[in-house]
């Protein structure tokens, strides 16, 4: 492996969150962007080729070493690591609205959901999944919310462009899916 790839390996190993390309570049400021990307690809391919238990994943506008999926169950059984808490349907609804309408205020979220969403937004803010990004123009200059990099991280997305496009959804009414949540 190239020295740059090994340097990145060390940094990514030490980090518990995804590191962005900009952050990785601060390790070796003389390296050009193309060289950084090449080193990351080299590192990812090296781990894939050598058949390891972890893999280098592009996620949340950065890169992170993650355990391979096939070990999830064993690790969970052994309880080495805490799994993140699952998000409630109300939380996911609110996240979906904020992700697609950002920057968006509480009133608009309430209106689309048909219920008061203040408490849910507060919880999502506390978990660092959404944040106030700006203030609106209207009465009282309402706080407007947007998603954070952590939102991308818990969904395993590289960036917001990976969310499905609205045109791709089947807006037409379908019969309920057989696997409805109980």
Partner 1 sequence: MTTPTPVAPVSNGFVIELEQFSGPLDLLLHLIHEDELDITDLPIAKIADQFLAVINDLGLNEAADYLEMAARLLRIKAQMLLPRRLGDDEWEDPRAELVRRLLEYQQIRELVEWLGQAAARRAEQLGRGFRPEPPAAPPAPLVIELNDLLAAAERVIALIPEPVLHRVVPRPLDVEGASARLQALLAERAEFGWLDVVGARPTIVDVLSVFIALLELAKRGSLSVHQAGAFTPMQIRRESPREAV
d(C-alpha 73, C-alpha 67), whole Å = 11
**Closer residue to partner 1 (CB): 8 or 153:** 153
Q: Is 135 in the site for partner 1 (CB under 8 A)?
A: no
Applying CB under 8 A, among 2, 116, 119, 159 the residue interacting with partner 1 is 116
**Closer residue to partner 1 (CB): 17 or 141:** 17
Counting Cβ atoms within 10 Å, is residue 140 exposed (0-12), middle (13-18) or buried (19+)?
exposed
Q: Is 123 in the site for partner 1 (CB under 8 A)?
A: no
- Using CB under 8 A, count the residues that bind partner 1: 51
Inter-residue contact 103 to 142 (CB < 8 Å): no
Q: Is 78 in the site for partner 1 (CB under 8 A)?
A: no
Q: Closest approach of Cβ 70 to partner 1, in Å?
A: 9
The H or E element spanning position 98 is helix 89-101
Inter-residue contact 158 to 152 (CB < 8 Å): yes
Stretch that binds partner 1, among 19-27, 43-51, 108-116, 135-143 (CB under 8 A): 108-116
């Amino acid at each position: 492996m190239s020295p740059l790839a090994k340097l990145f390996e060390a940094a990514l190993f030490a980090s518990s969150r995804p590191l962005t390309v900009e952050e990785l570049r601060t390790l070796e400021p003389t390296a050009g962007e193309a060289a950084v990307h090449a080193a990351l690809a080299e590192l990812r391919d090296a781990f894939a080729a050598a058949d390891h238990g972890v893999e280098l994943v592009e996620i949340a506008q950065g890169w992170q070493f993650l355990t391979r999926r096939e070990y999830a169950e064993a690790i969970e059984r052994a309880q080495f690591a805490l799994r993140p808490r699952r998000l409630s349907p109300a939380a996911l609804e609110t996240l979906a609205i904020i992700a697609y309408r950002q920057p968006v205020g509480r009133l608009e979220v309430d209106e689309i959901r048909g219920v008061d969403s203040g408490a849910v937004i507060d919880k999502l803010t506390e978990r660092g999944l959404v944040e106030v990004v700006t203030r609106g123009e209207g009465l009282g200059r309402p706080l407007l919310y947007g998603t954070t990099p952590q939102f991308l991280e818990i969904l395993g997305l590289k960036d917001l462009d990976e969310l499905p496009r609205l045109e791709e959804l089947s807006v037409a009414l379908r019969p309920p899916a057989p696997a409805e949540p109980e």
